[in-house]
């Protein structure tokens, strides 16, 4: 039963938690924990660096800083929100059973 719940709700929970985490994170802070494997390895440049800051700025309504942090932040947030919407709709259409 736990495996079914995990399989059914993990992705939806992950994306909602990620959006909440980016909404409460201060993008203007000097330092923060990074999950970037290239940054952890000591490589200074990464094509995805700034994407989290961009989404965080966008959630605060600052489009200019969002675009300056990473140009793909705006479309990425749209894609993530669309995925949350489709996952929620799929789970609600099957709401006659919890598992």
Distance, in Å, from the CA atom of 59 to the CA atom of 10, rounded to the nearest integer, reads 23
- pLDDT tens per residue, range 77-99: 999 999 999 999 998 887 655 55
Tokens 């669309």: give the residue.
Answer: 82
pTM: 0.81
Q: Is 65 helix (H, G, I), strand (E, B) or coil?
A: helix
**In this predicted structure, what is the pLDDT of residue 31?**
65
How many other β-carbons are positioned within 10 Å of the β-carbon of residue 68? 14
């Amino acid at each position: 039963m736990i495996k079914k719940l995990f399989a059914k709700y993990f992705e939806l929970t992950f994306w909602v938690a990620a959006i909440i985490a980016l909404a409460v994170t201060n993008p203007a802070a000097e330092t923060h924990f990074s999950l970037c494997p290239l940054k952890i390895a000591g490589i200074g440049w990464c094509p995805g660096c700034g994407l989290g800051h961009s989404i965080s700025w966008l959630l605060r309504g600052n489009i200019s800083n969002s675009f300056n942090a990473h140009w793909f932040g705006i479309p990425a947030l749209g894609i993530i929100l669309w995925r949350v919407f489709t996952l929620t709709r799929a789970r609600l259409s099957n709401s006659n059973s919890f598992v």
